[in-house]
Amino acid sequence: MEIPSELIEQLKTAKSVIFFSGAGISAESGIPTFRGKDGIWNKLRPEELANFDAFMRNPQLVWEWYNYRKSIVHQSKPNAGHLAIVEMEKYFVNVIVITQNVDNLHRRAGSKTIYELHGNIERNFCIKCKKRYDGELDFKDGIPKCKCGGLIRPDVVWFGEFLPADQFQLSEKAARNCDMFFIVGTSAIVYPAASLVHVAKSNGAFLVEVNIEETEASSLADVSLFGESGKVLPQIIELLKLIKS
């Protein structure tokens, strides 16, 4: 892939770089995306699974879905895209990952600073007393329950729920202060996460999109690199090796 010269110039001087990631970065690890050609929401309806009312209506169904996804996550490994982002830390003073993903793959890859906007599928909590449950859960009656009697749910952000305030505030601050903002493998349609693209843009960051197709963010991006993130990001590393040596 031809890398535009304006991107090369930015890579030479940027100090603070953000990678804002979505489900597409994990697609090459075998984790399905939500939307698009192979998206899970072509078959399942998000409103039946990814909101609190759905959980209260049928916690067993929602847990089946999360346990299925957890099993996929556990079988998967970080791919070349996640690993390239870790390697970026060699070339820039400050690298921050802001992810909408709940799959933990950036952490398993070794990225140092990660803000998780939509929670983490490895964590759970009791809806009544808020106690955290991070290990194996007891599914004796199909639904895990807390000692207090409350239902335990996955610690992910469903539609209509607030994002973890600390993670969002840190992300907004980072987006205001970065030189480059990479938008990787996200449809950029879910808010308020997608608002970070606008925050970065309006504060003068250079926006680079990496995706296999056009998205809501394409018209804002200074450069769009169309291709799989597991191929495009390692190519940027190769370029950095040349320009920073």
Binding site for ligand BJW (CB under 6 A): 22-24, 27-28, 33-36, 39, 50, 100, 102, 118, 156-162, 185-187, 189-192, 210-213, 215, 228-229
- Reduce the DSSP state of residue 103 to 3 states and report it: coil
Which among 109-117, 123-131, 133-141, 191-199 is the span making contact with Zn ion, rule CB under 5 A? 123-131
Partner from ligand BJW, Zn ion, none binding residue 146, C-beta < 5-8 Å depending on class: Zn ion
Which residues fall within 8 angstroms of residue 214, CB to CB, at 6 or more apart? 224, 226
Give the residue, chosen from 85, 95, 126, 157, that forms a contact with Zn ion under the rule CB under 5 A. 126
What does the per-residue mask of binding to Zn ion show for 153-192, with x meaning CB under 5 A?
----------------------------------------
Considering the complex, state which of residue 41 and residue 133 has its C-beta at the smaller distance from Zn ion.
133
CB of 157 to ligand BJW, least distance (A): 4
For 191, phi and psi rounded to 5 degrees?
-105, 155
Considering the complex, state which of residue 165 and residue 242 has its C-beta at the smaller distance from ligand BJW.
165
Q: Which of residues 129-148 bind Zn ion (CB under 5 A)?
A: 129, 131, 146, 148
Q: Which residue is closest to ligand BJW by CB?
A: 24
Asked if residue 69 lies in contact with residue 33, where contact means CB atoms within 8 angstroms, the answer is: no
CB of 60 to Zn ion, least distance (A): 18
- The DSSP bridge partners found for residue 114 are 97
Partner from ligand BJW, Zn ion, none binding residue 189, C-beta < 5-8 Å depending on class: ligand BJW
Note if 74 is an active site residue.
Answer: no
Nearest to 117 by CA among 183, 56, 174, 169: 169
Nearest to 178 by CA among 97, 244, 103, 122: 97
CB of 72 to ligand BJW, least distance (A): 12
Q: Where does the chain show beta strands of DSSP type E?
A: 16-21, 94-99, 114-116, 119-126, 132-133, 152-156, 180-184, 206-211, 223-226
Which residues fall within 8 angstroms of residue 117, CB to CB, at 6 or more apart? 98, 99, 100, 157, 163, 164, 167, 168, 171, 193
Mind telling me the catalytic residues? 118
